[in-house]
Every structure is written in C-alpha cells, then in structure tokens.
Structure 1
Amino acid sequence: MTSRNDTEEVTGMPVAIITGASRGLGLALAHGLSDAGWGLVLDARGAEDLRTAADQLDGPVRAIPGDITDPDHRAELVEAATELGGLDLLVNNAGVLGPSPLPALAEFPLDRLREVYEVNVLAQLALTQQALPTLLARDGAVVFVTSDAAVEPYPGWGGYGSAKAALEQIGKVLAVEAPALRVWVVDPGDLRTKMHQDAFPGEDISDRQLPEAVVPAYVKLVTERPESGRVRL
C-alpha cells in the first residue's frame, strides 16, 4: 500500500474510494475529486501504475493495489477509508471488457463470461455491501459506472452489456432498499480509454472524448447530490 500525508488532519474532508483508478476514467475522477478537496483511497490491479497515479495527486491519498474480487482486498479498501476519516463516496469504476474482439453470444466462452460477471457485478456488489455501514452513517453515496450497452442491443456486447444491465438493476434496488443513501448509475458515454480501444481493436477511436471531459459533471453530481437514479453524462 502506498500512503501519503497520513498525518494530515482530515476531519471534515470527504473521503472516496475509487476502483480502477490507475488509468482512464478512474484516474481522471481521482484528479477531479482530489482537486475538489477529497481524500482518496485508490484501487487497481497494477501496483506500479497505481503508485504513479497516486503520486500525481495532492492531499491525502492511499493507493492499495489488488483485485476487487478478493474479499481481503475489499476489506482493506474500506479500512483505509475509515482511517482517513470515514467513507462518503464509493465509485465502482473497475471492470473488465471480456474477450477482444467482442464475440457473438453464440460463441461467447462461458468461463470468460463468468469473469465478466464476477468483476463487473458480484465484486462491485460485495464491495458496496462492505462499505454500506460507514456510508449510511455519513449520508454517503454510491456510483455505479454503467454503459449504454446495458440498455441497447449492440452486436458483440452481450457479455459486457448484460453484466452492466445487472449492475444497473442492483443500483435501482439498492436505492429503494436504502433510501438514505444516494445511488447513482452513471453512463459517461463513449470515452477514449484502453477498454474502449480493446472493444474496437485496430480501429481509430480518436473521435471519442477523453475521460477528463466528463469529470466536471461527476464532481457536480457528488457535490449537488440529486436524488438517486440513472444519470447520462
């Protein structure tokens, strides 16, 4: 684990966990929330990339490499947030695409589909369950990052899209079951990320906007705290 500014007084400073924070949207959100005065706990599987990401940020940051499918890792993330003062926001951003190029459902390897569901649905629910007590105690919020593939039937997107559809339903039900919690299912649109490039190998995706373009909308969301629901940026 990489920790910086551990002795800094953080009372009153909001604290967020961001998964998948070493690149792409997760890294962009880390910069945006750090600039807005948040303390951060960052997660990613690649330790070196995560350390580099954390070193770019000001303020209290704890970078904890690991896999969100690992129960011990999930517990470590929540514990680190508690040590920073308590958890106010959980951003479930980590995810996997599945096979690339994207296969049709008739040819989708079921072992890879299980992996997609394990990471994109079950691990995210498990981390949310782990974080719920402190989130509820602090009038916190949860963001589930989704995709238009959850609601539109694009060829080749049956695995990833159906997992995101399941995640969206989890977010909707959680909002009903825990009305004191803000739960936002956020579709940031097509972004110029490695995952999106993997979905279109060999194609030019330079027409997609960079993740940094949607960060102000995310910061506005968590600052203004509208009612729970699906948000399209």
Structure 2
Amino acid sequence: MPVAIITGASKGFGRAFAAALAGRGWDLVLDARSGAVLRETAEELEKYGTRVAALPGDVTDAAHRADLVAAARGLGGLDLLVNNASALGAEPLVRLDALPLEGLRRALEVNVVAALGLTQEALPLLRAAPAGAVVALSSDASAEAYETWGGYGASKAALDQLSAVLAVEEPGLRVWAVDPGDMRTDLYQAAVPLDDDGHRPPPESVVPAFLRLLDERPDSGRYAAPSLLEAL
C-alpha cells in the first residue's frame, strides 16, 4: 500500500485529506500537536482498514520530524509528504505595524523551516518511491496583498519558492504547492474570529482537487484547488 505523511492532520483539511487517502487504501503517518484529537482521528481512519501511525508533536522539533519519517519507513516507505501544518503568526491577525516579531518567527519556523526540515528528512524515502510526491499547502495570501495577512502570507510565499526550487532540484519527484482556496477551518476562525465564515466550503470540498493531482500527476508547480475542481 502507498504511504503518506500528513502534518496538521487532526482536523480541518489534514483530516479530510487523510480520510480520502484512507478510503483509497493508503497507510498513513499523521502529526498534530493535540494528542487526544489526533488519536480520535486515527481511530476513525483505522475503520477503513488502513494502518495509521499517529504521532503527536511539534513539527519544529527535529526529533519529532525524524520520528515521522521513521514511522513511514516502518510502514514500508513513503510515497507522499503533505506539509499542511501551519501557524498564523498572530491570532487574530494584525497589521504589520502590530505584528509581534516572535509571532512572525513562529510562522516562518512552522510554515517554512519545519516544512523544509521534514522534506529533507523524507527525501531518501521519496526518491526510492515509484511515484514520490510532495504537497505544500499554500495560500492566496502568498501572492496577494491582504490587510493583516502579511506575516502569514510572507511565510507561504517562502514555502512556494522552496517548493519551486525543490522541483528543479528533484526532477524525479512531483512537487506541488497548492492554494486550497477558501475553507471553513479553525485556522481561519483564529485568524479572523469576527468574520462569519458560514458561507465558506468545508475542507472536504477541496479534497478532490488534491486527489486529481495524485491521479493525473501533472508537472510540478503551483496550483489553485478551485481551478483543478473546475475541470472535474
């Protein structure tokens, strides 16, 4: 069975994508900071008959990243790495003149440094896979100037650039940076708690766009989930 590592997998998009892969028979290594919620997620996914290694921890911890890759190795290898875990930098979001520098450092550490660190750790297994792939969760804030989204957007822009360079350096892999579009998630609520996001689609609605990438394996690059969904 193919194996995927998904960070930030206890809820939101990470959990929705993990469920979709479990339904397709994938084995999973899941990460989240909340052990209780992560265990609940793992128990639900195991009902599909898939093997699930649930490792609570912080992706900024090098030992935790090594444990995630070791768990994948124990399941037989690694076919897909999904760098989904994200930090906002401030909750709720604030303008740049009020953004705590420590918050910006945290966003960069989680969204960029840890993502690269986990990718580096995983590369030997990904290179050995018949169809290794890396997915980086991007954002339209990485390309557009939205008030209060500067720190988070800057971190996602850096992640986009790392993904683009990784694709050049690792031509045997597929490396996709994907803007999922609007979703109703806890992350968005933490970012803009006063915004009514009832009209935003649930994370499950964008999962088919990511599955399309796995099925069709287009060239490495940056994609927007809404555009992928339009062609379905």
**Runs of 4+ with >4 A deviation:** none
The residue aligned with 2:70 is 79
Deviates more, 1:221-230 or 1:20-29: 221-230
Matched, 1:89 2:80: yes
Q: Kindly provide the amino acid, as one letter, of the partner of residue 224 in structure 1.
A: E
**1:168 aligned counterpart, secondary structure:** helix
**2:94 aligned counterpart, secondary structure:** coil
Query: What is the deviation of 1:103?
Result: 1.2
The residue aligned with 2:211 is 219
Q: What is the TM-score with the length of structure 2 in the denominator? A: 0.94
Query: What is the deviation of 1:187?
Result: 0.6
Percentage of pairs with the same residue: 58
User: C-alpha distance in 2, partners of 1:157/1:202?
Assistant: 15
Q: Kindly provide the amino acid, as one letter, of the partner of residue 154 in structure 1.
A: Y
Q: Structure 1, unaligned stretches of length 5 or more? A: 1-12
Matched, 1:45 2:40: no
Query: What is the deviation of 1:223?
Result: 2.2
User: C-alpha distance in 2, partners of 1:155/1:114?
Assistant: 19
User: C-alpha distance in 1, partners of 2:20/2:154?
Assistant: 29
Deviation per CA, 1:111-144: give whole Å up to 9, x if none.
Answer: 1110110001000000000000110111300000
Give the paired residue count.
Answer: 221
Which of these residues, 65, 84, 91, is aligned with residue 56 of structure 2? 65
Deviates more, 1:176-185 or 1:220-229: 220-229
Q: What is the TM-score with the length of structure 1 in the denominator? A: 0.93
Q: Kindly provide the amino acid, as one letter, of the partner of residue 63 in structure 2.
A: D
**2:78 aligned counterpart, secondary structure:** coil
Matched, 1:118 2:106: no
The residue aligned with 2:180 is 188
Query: What is the deviation of 1:232?
Result: 0.4
User: C-alpha distance in 2, partners of 1:37/1:224?
Assistant: 18
User: C-alpha distance in 1, partners of 2:195/2:102?
Assistant: 27
The residue aligned with 1:105 is 96
The residue aligned with 1:10 is none
Which of these residues, 142, 150, 153, is aligned with residue 145 of structure 2? 153
User: C-alpha distance in 2, partners of 1:109/1:64?
Assistant: 30
User: C-alpha distance in 2, partners of 1:217/1:147?
Assistant: 15
The residue aligned with 1:3 is none
Query: What is the deviation of 1:231?
Result: 1.0
The residue aligned with 1:205 is 197
Identify the structure with the greater helix proportion.
2
Query: What is the deviation of 1:226?
Result: 1.1
